[in-house]
């Protein structure tokens, strides 16, 4: 008979990993392999069988009640209520001793899903947001069909845009040194420079590389902001791992391609008034939330410059901000990394400058942003 978790263990936030990717990318194959790893021995798994190959039956039998197969339909929309109920049930079972330990929750989405609503289900729930922490989004991309899929499906672009880890699959089905793989890597990096790009065939997509992608190092229990923002990994053409890099002081977009999903970084040495930051984020999220695939950042606030604020948003939902006890590194500079869909960098930058008091913003275009924040030049219609 199991015993209830200790108070400290019970209150420790449980990491949550989302595995996504377009139809046929290999999500279930990856999940089957991950579940055999000792790191996931006490993990709970929520899978969606709609349109996907089922999990291996022997493996399901081994983990028994810890695998939940939701009813048919898209996990991120039609069964969102069931997802919340399932997560709440896991917590009840953990707290009353029916589960001895819950080390992690892994959610596999259907291939047609935008991951945003799954993340929202946790971020917007007043209890779940305290008991779970988003560890990372793992997005699988089929190397054979990846380019065509990105061209044809907005969902695939969004899946790449919100990712912390991008796993290339099926590279063994292409000739050695196929230029298409390099082109796909470059495109994925341009869309999302925050994410590590890993090749499953080369053995790069193992548990240590896929887990612990969140803000906090689970062992040291300190914030690893540079890794979380993608600043301490660099993609180089000659290095097989292809880890992405968000850059340091970007005055322009990272991207130079035609995709509507793109990334850029806002950076300033100025301390920012909390009220100004709140107004900037509120206006941006309320007016253009669906276009904000992912926002990550660390901000130096005027009221206490030595205790930075960490921000994390997915579309229109802003995770409760975290105040760090101190700067995690020597870079005491505010950095906000945006991955957006059809939202011009110039608009966001001008709005940020207007609220944070950057000099020389008295141009008609900049002033007009405050009067009409919906006027986004160059944004595509929806």
In terms of C-beta distances under 8 Å and separation of at least 24 residues, what long-range contacts does 279-284 make, across chains too? 279/355, 280/351, 280/352, 280/355, 280/356, 281/311, 281/313, 281/318, 283/351, 283/355, 283/373, 284/348, 284/351, 284/373
State pLDDT tens for residues 105-128. 888 887 877 888 888 888 888 899
Contact 151, 176 (CB under 8 A): no
What distance in Å separates the CA atoms of residue 26 and residue 36, rounded to the nearest whole number? 16
pLDDT given at position 134: 87
The phi and psi torsions of 218 (rounded to 5 degrees) equal -65, -25
Contact 249, 181 (CB under 8 A): no
Task: With a cut of 50, list the residues of the chain below it in pLDDT.
Answer: 1-5, 50-53, 57-64, 70-79, 234-258, 360-367, 370, 376-382
At 45 the three-state DSSP class reads: strand
pLDDT given at position 379: 42
pLDDT given at position 298: 93
The phi and psi torsions of 152 (rounded to 5 degrees) equal -100, -20
Identify the structural domains of the chain with CATH numbers, from first to last. Answer: 7-228 (3.40.50.300), 261-371 (3.30.1220.10)
> Hunting for tokens 């699988």 — which residue is that?
140
pLDDT given at position 254: 40
State pLDDT tens for residues 6-28. 555 556 789 999 999 998 898 88
pLDDT given at position 43: 83
Task: Report CA 270 to chain centroid distance, whole Å.
Answer: 27
pLDDT given at position 23: 87
pLDDT given at position 232: 57
pLDDT given at position 223: 67
């Amino acid at each position: 008979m199991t015993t209830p978790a200790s108070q400290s263990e019970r209150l420790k936030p449980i990491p949550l990993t989302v595995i996504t990717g377009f139809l046929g990318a290999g999500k279930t194959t990856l999940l089957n392999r991950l579940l055999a790893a000792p790191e996931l021995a006490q993990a709970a798994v929520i899978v969606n069988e709609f349109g996907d190959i089922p999990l291996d039956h022997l493996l399901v039998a081994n983990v028994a009640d810890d695998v939940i197969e939701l009813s048919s339909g898209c996990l991120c929309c039609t069964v969102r209520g069931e997802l919340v109920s399932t997560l709440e049930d896991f917590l009840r079972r953990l707290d009353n001793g029916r589960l001895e330990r819950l080390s992690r929750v892994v959610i596999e989405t259907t291939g047609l899903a935008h991951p945003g609503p799954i993340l929202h289900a946790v971020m917007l729930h007043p209890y779940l947001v305290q008991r779970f922490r988003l560890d990372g989004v793992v997005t699988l991309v089929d190397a054979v069909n990846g380019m065509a899929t990105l061209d044809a499906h907005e969902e695939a672009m969004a899946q790449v845009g919100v990712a912390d880890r991008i796993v290339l699959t099926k590279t063994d089905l292409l000739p050695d040194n196929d230029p298409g793989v390099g082109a796909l890597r470059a495109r994925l990096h341009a869309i999302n420079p925050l994410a590590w790009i890993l090749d499953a065939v080369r053995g790069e997509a193992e548990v240590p590389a896929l887990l612990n992608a969140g803000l906090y190092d689970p062992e040291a229990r300190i914030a690893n902001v540079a890794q979380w923002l993608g600043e301490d990994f660099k993609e180089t053409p000659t290095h097989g791992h292809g880890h992405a890099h968000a850059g340091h002081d970007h005055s322009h977009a990272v991207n130079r391609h035609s995709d509507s999903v793109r990334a850029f970084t806002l950076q300033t040495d100025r301390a920012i008034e909390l009220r100004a930051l709140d107004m900037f984020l509120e206006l941006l999220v309320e007016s253009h939330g669906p276009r904000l695939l992912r926002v990550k950042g660390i901000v130096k606030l005027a009221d206490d410059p030595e205790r930075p604020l960490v921000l994390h948003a997915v579309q229109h939902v802003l995770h409760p901000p975290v105040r760090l006890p101190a700067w995690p590194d020597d870079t005491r500079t505010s950095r906000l990394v945006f991955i957006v869909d059809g939202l011009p960098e110039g608009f966001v930058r001008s709005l940020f400058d207007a609220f944070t008091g950057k000099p020389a913003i008295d141009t008609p275009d900049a002033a007009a942003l405050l009067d009409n924040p919906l006027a986004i030049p160059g944004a595509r219609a929806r």
